[in-house]
Amino acid sequence: MENYCIGTLEHVDRESHAELPSIAEQLATRRRSSGVTPLFALLEYAHSLDIPDEIFEHPSIKEIERIGTDLVVFQNDIISYCKEEAEGVNHNLVAIFRINGMPAQQAFEAVNALLRKCYRDWYLALADLPQWGEKIDAQVQKYIQGVQDVVLANLNWRCVISFHISMCT
């Protein structure tokens, strides 16, 4: 929750000073402010998982969480760009690419390239996952499935909302 609050305050600070972040700065802020990582913490509670803290600190688990967060951010920004552009929102990654001089199609393709890289990185992170024993491994797999479910739930929700908005206009 601390990272979420820090990221949200970064957005507010940039908006209040009309600052335009770089792509890397914006992505770092969006990873914190997207509200995705607090959902990952709830997965442990919701599934009654008993995974030792050191496993959550393992580089493969951290990478899976980063990728899950990025997938949500990239999918959200692709789907919501037109709506957010109309509202003057400039923290969307497509908008940041556009502000940095890319035409719309190229900006969408740039975010799509980041999205595709995430899918590749996901499988690499899974391949690097060590084994901790049958009991822990089963719980880790539930946790990883939960991360996937968060990504899919966001995508489904975004698509439904976008569909309803387009039907209303």
Which tokens belong to 23? 């792509």
pLDDT higher than threshold 60 for residue 9:
yes
Task: Tell me phi and psi for residue 76, to 5 degrees.
Answer: -60, -45
Return phi, psi of residue 38, to 5°. Answer: -60, -30
Separation between Cα atoms, residue 92 and residue 77, nearest integer Å: 5
Mean of pLDDT values over 79-96: 81
Q: To the nearest whole percent, how much of the chain has pLDDT over 90?
A: 52
Task: Give the CA distances from residue 101 to residues 23, 97, 106, in Å, rounded to whole numbers and listed in that order.
Answer: 12, 7, 10
Residues 6 or more apart whose CB falls under 8 angstroms from that of 115 comprise 71, 74, 75, 78
Confidence (pLDDT) at 166: 58
Each residue of 48-71: pLDDT tens digit? 999 999 999 999 999 999 999 999
pLDDT tier for residue 80 given thresholds of 50, 70 and 90: confident
For 116-121, the CB contacts below 8 A with 24+ separation are 118/67, 118/70, 118/71, 118/74, 119/71, 121/63, 121/67
The structural domains of the chain, with segments of one domain joined by +, span 2-168
Question: In the block, which residue shows the tokens 């890289």?
Answer: 117
Dist. CA 78–CA 80, nearest whole Å: 6
Measured CA to CA, the distance from residue 118 to residue 67 in angstroms comes to 6
Which CATH superfamily, name and number, covers 2-168? Farnesyl Diphosphate Synthase (1.10.600.10)
d(CA 152, CA 71): 9
